[in-house]
Structure 1
């Protein structure tokens, strides 16, 4: 393991709590390992070589033309091996937040049971499909959820907590909505006094989560990290979790669904919030972040989009937020079990039964039953 690193961060596609923004489908948070001298030299070289008039590297502007994309590509090649990126499909991220704040309050006493079964991914992926393909009803639910998390105003939750049935609603979305309606009390108790207040104003923003995840990955390679981030309202509101990592030399991991992920790292000092105009490493990170938002947009098919897509596996960290439709493939045993679990949770909610009592045994039993008698037989 190497001793220490200066790491520079910036984002592309930031819309704060507005994850349904139609012009910005993806959020990318990028990092580069460098130092002031190297970063300044590379930025000045790129500005001079590609005749960048603003005197500052702005990835969002550069990706709009071929010369700018060529400039970004040179940065990526120069920084090869020293880049890590978190990138998220915002609609899927919103679906994940929906599970976290609508389902988890009622399941939190044994939430790992559901996470290890990928139940959260089953629900989130269903919601994502509904949001992207079903139209009005799903969109209304998500808009109400977004408004709640931004404002903390529970009075506006017309669609989410309405008991009215819509004839166009899909059976699985109806189950999810039924769960929300019948567990309203625990949801409200969990969010009251948090949503829309202080750091809670940024609860749907992806900046803090992305920064933490990237730092944890760099912590596997370096003993000590110094982080420089472009000024950010979400980071400015809440650095408590990062401050806890200052001088933290422990190495801890969490295991979810068979994957071990680092949850600690050692910061030399608190996060440095800087102005990108004077922080050359942040300008490099800005260019990288813009490149991967550009690459993830399927409408971009030029040589640079194709090239950057080819290195996604090398630079994009585990924990980036994209839908995996295997989690709703009903031919899979795990998916069939999660569908039955959703129905059981709704049934228990209707009957005012404990949602968690005996649930491990129920899930194990249903897995055994469905192994012997699957809903749909998987094709060989």
Structure 2
């Protein structure tokens, strides 16, 4: 049976404002350990370490061209997909889901139609710091993240106060519901199972592509790290869900249940060359994103890294003010239905 090996980077649980790790992502590669070992020996014949790790390899400039060549071999010859998201932007999308959308839903408005939530979250990301007042957006997001996590009256009150303390009237479409303490929004934030943990979203994006790439039933294997335990539990829930359903997410992504994915297992990465390759691929992609956004000094050339991907090998979640393109790509999206479906079937995971 075909097996995709996966690894992740940047997982910080519910904290999406972690300054040291602003990006989160994962890579899935359909490759066995023998083929992966051959690739590693071909590109790093003098490797002394017992395990191939991107963070170790990229520190030596002499390894950079080898890393790019290894990446090119993987992308050219094996089924592979990488997902990378800006965690601050993802948090703003979650803010739109729970602190804005319920207000519009109560008034019969489809807030998600043609990707309006993405456009508004992008606007907040890019102009919110100037529009809402110095430090206001940071305070708002910090309070929102805490309110979703704690779900206490004090945390919710602090969130409303942070909205009111901003120049919310300059963008009432986004902050008006919280500034007026809309009960439907506060109830959504306080709902059991609502979380800012991004693991499920990363998995959803990754699985939407492995389901397309797999010719038939397949399995997933991943490292046995603490971070991937959260991914493991969620994958098991997705696998066990047998109710038929299909949801369109964009012009290039959809998700159908039940999945072709049949099982998930973990392995010590030191004994799996294939999982080590997944570590290299996601490490390089996250490094490239951090470099291109000015958060990190360039080590491996980010343009050289990303240019090797084809469109269907790289999924990214980044803010964009090309609102016309957002609307085109997400025309007819079933985002609202998918969120409702997840709330009904996967809440609390």
**So what's the TM-score if we normalise by structure 2?**
0.77
2:321 is matched with: 325
Of the three residues 33, 51, 55, the one matched with 1:56 is 51
2:36 is matched with: 39
Cα displacement string for residues 149-189 of structure 1 (whole angstroms, at most 9, x for unaligned residues): 233334124552128744755701x4422212435422333
Cα displacement string for residues 127-151 of structure 1 (whole angstroms, at most 9, x for unaligned residues): 2124565641110000011112233
CA distance in 2, matches of 1:263, 1:187: 29
Deviation at 1:87, TM superposition (A): 0.7
User: Please, what is the CA RMSD of the aligned residues?
Assistant: 3.3
Judge which range, 218-227 or 93-102, deviates more: 218-227
2:119 is matched with: 122
Higher normalized contact order (CA 8 Å, seq sep 6+, divided by chain length): 2
2:161 is matched with: 162
Q: Does 1:67 align with 2:62?
A: yes
Cα displacement string for residues 228-247 of structure 1 (whole angstroms, at most 9, x for unaligned residues): 1223242255445422368x
**5+ long unaligned stretches in structure 1:** 335-380
Does the 8 A contact of 1:28 with 1:289 survive in 2? yes
Judge which range, 237-246 or 213-222, deviates more: 237-246
What pairs with 1:1-380 in structure 2 (closer than 5 Å)? 4-45=1-42, 48-49=45-46, 51-53=47-49, 55-81=50-76, 82=78, 83-108=80-105, 113-130=110-127, 135-162=134-161, 165-166=164-165, 171-172=170-171, 174-182=172-180, 184-192=182-190, 194=192, 203-222=195-214, 223-231=216-224, 232-239=228-235, 241-244=237-240, 253-256=246-249, 261-264=254-257, 265-269=259-263, 271-296=264-289, 297-298=291-292, 299=294, 304-314=301-311, 316-318=313-315, 320-327=316-323
CA distance in 2, matches of 1:111, 1:9: 41
Does the 8 A contact of 2:6 with 2:27 survive in 1? yes
1:89/1:193 CA distance change after superposition, 3 Å? closer
1:306/1:239 CA distance change after superposition, 3 Å? closer
Does the 8 A contact of 1:224 with 1:267 survive in 2? yes
Judge which range, 145-154 or 295-304, deviates more: 295-304
1:170/1:64 CA distance change after superposition, 3 Å? farther
CA distance in 2, matches of 1:110, 1:281: 50
CA distance in 2, matches of 1:111, 1:213: 28
Instruction: Say how many residue pairs are matched.
Output: 315
CA distance in 2, matches of 1:167, 1:226: 48
Q: Which has the larger radius of gyration?
A: 1
CA distance in 2, matches of 1:39, 1:205: 31
